[in-house]
Structure 1
Amino acid sequence: MAMFLLANHAEVDTQNVYSNTALYYAVEQSNIEMASILLSYGANPNFQCHFNVTPFEIAWVKYIDSPELHFEMMKLLVTNIVKTEHCNAVDTNLSGFIQNKRLINESGDLKELEQQCHKEIEEMKSISVGENGKSFFDIFVLQKDINTLARCANNPDIVKCQDKFSMYSSFIEKSIKEGKARAKLLQGAAESMDEIFESN
């Protein structure tokens, strides 16, 4: 049901009477799959409810109590926060963002995780893909050029990069899958056009 609503342009950060969003509940229930889906549709982990609590803070409290059990959720949220920071998709002066950064800094392991994210993104930004000057980060994490993505998705060197950038491997894997699907669609369209022109 959630996928249907999101695919049909439902507002991902709609709030209830307590100003909680769907991401709050996904994090509260430790539902990594739903949190990942919501984040992929633009859910904001920096959003503060009436009590000035962010979804990230809910996950952070759980993580501090039981790090092994809640590490994957924290990794998901930290990689998303760093990604949005690098693509200027978040106002870094907002109190929710500042609050989340403070919480990251309070944990040595999370700070290390954040630094690894920054390092991988900087390296991805240094790799040019295609002829339009866009970086690996632009194409395979932000998906800024779907046509370049389609052209590169079957390149074995690109697949190797998925393992190289472990923090963002899920983004890269998803992009490769979508790029291959687009390439197949374009190939089918080209073959159909050839058949049309051959029959005339």
Structure 2
Amino acid sequence: MNYQGTQVLDHPVQRVWDALFDPTVLRQSIAGCESFERSSDTEFNSSVKVSIGPVSARFSSKVQMADVAPPFRCTLRFAGQGGVAGFGKGEARVTLVELGVDKTRLDWSAEAQVGGKIAQLGSRLIEGTVRKMSEDFFQRFAAQLASAAPGVTEAPAELVQESPSLRASLPYVLTLLAGAAALIWLLGR
């Protein structure tokens, strides 16, 4: 399954980037999120309760960041288990584009594979659920950005240093934490 989207946020690129990697902001932005924690500079673990049609389950997942070029792009690789409900795994690319001093376009794309009961539900039901989850995520994420967002912290220093290879491959990747996070962390669990 392939998903993609674009969201324009009325905030500077750095603020959006910082919020996308803040566990507190993400926990409050993802519907059904019970826990969302950073386990290392490049990994997050989460637990989310998700319902897709008649299937409801708690998904535990691990998200790993790769190809990080702050504050403009990142690739997120995810894998998760939902017990008898099934599993999900995939990759999302998030790209932030500065549209002005206080305006950022967040482009995201994700590829996911699901198995188990979830895969038996049919692509229309899954796609509809993913679309709704993504919309809900962006509404909540935008609200977090609009508030004082005291939980927003800077990305680890290790991620702020760009290497020449990351700069050269800068074209694509910030496809979501906001959209892909909703999509990846919710679909990938």
TM class by shorter chain equals under 0.3
Which one has the largest radius of gyration? 1
Relative contact order higher in (CA < 8 Å, ≥ 6 apart):
2
More helix by share: 1
- TM (norm. structure 1) is 0.25
- TM (norm. structure 2) is 0.26
